[in-house]
Amino acid sequence: MELRQLQYFVAVVEEASFTRAAARLHLAQPGVSAQIRQLERELGQPLLDRSGRSVRPTEVGEAVLPYARAALAAVDGVRQTAAEFTGLLRGRVGFGLIPGALGHQVDVPGVLADFHDDHPQVEITLTEDTSDRMLAALRRGELDIAVVGLADEEPPPGVGVRVFIDEPLVVAAAEGHPLFAAHGGGAPVPLTALAEYPLISLPRGTDVRAVVDRLCGQAGFQPRIAFEAAAPDALARLAARGLGVAVVPRPETGFGLPTLPIDDPRARGRVALAWRTDGPAGPAARSLLARLRDSLPQ
């Protein structure tokens, strides 16, 4: 059994095609097919079902697949560790961002650019998603590092965080909105007042939405979400056109909209750098995490 045979097998499963797998590996298709058939003969079992329009693993192939991936990952880890001692970082880093994170006061693009200049052999893949899904991806090992919103004081089990934005939530609406007539003079708005108006909010799975839903529920009502958008600046734009009352973190309102604080100290928007508590697996991810942590405000 050879490592290249396991590599070809994993590629065919992931691409569901010998042709696409061969193109990905920059090899001729007959060579890939021949090596996998040799692996099947050695194991005495078919690993791939070739009868359909797409290639799928057999029951045995499904059972073998995690071990093949683990073997390839172990070899990659050996190479990366050896490269780390020679000062040459290689590998891949999975990095997640909540929508709008690149506009925060921390220069994430600058840190990534400097890291890439210093370590051009490292591939960084960027994913933009909700905080809930990225935290789950961190715990599964699908992401190494993420910038997420936190709805709770404590991070999920198995995740370490460094909070670098912690701002009160405010309500924002167009000039002349009834909310400001009812609560003029900059007085905080009680949560129960939000039951009277359609709200504009971040989608489910985000920290701000989780806080809004939880606090409104504790106040005895379900918020009427009229519009959802993935970034706070988009919420403010919708509010500026009179489509509802936006609930946003204080620094993100913009557009000259009037705002009022929410009369609840728990109404806060928190953004954090997150990673698995046992640390990223690869040296490249560990190096990038250290650089990001150093760049954050104390």
Closest listed residue to residue 33, CA positions, set 19, 45, 23? 19
Closest listed residue to residue 206, CA positions, set 122, 291, 128? 128
Separation between Cα atoms, residue 116 and residue 166, nearest integer Å: 29
> pLDDT at position 253, please?
46
pLDDT digits (tens, 9 = 90+) for 242-272: 899 999 887 554 557 888 889 999 999 888 9
pLDDT digits (tens, 9 = 90+) for 94-149: 999 887 666 566 788 888 899 999 888 888 999 888 888 899 888 888 899 999 98
Residue 64's φ and ψ, nearest 5 degrees, are: -80, -30
pTM: 0.65
Q: Which domains does the chain have, with CATH numbers?
A: 3-85 (1.10.10.10), 91-164+271-295 (3.40.190.10), 167-268 (3.40.190.10)
Separation between Cα atoms, residue 240 and residue 247, nearest integer Å: 13
The three-class DSSP label of residue 257 is: coil
| DSSP codes of every residue in 104-165 | SSS-HHHHHHHHHHH-TTEEEEEEE--HHHHHHHHHHTS-SEEEEEESSSSPPTTEEEEEEE
Q: How far is CA 223 from CA 174, 195, 213, in A?
A: 19, 6, 7
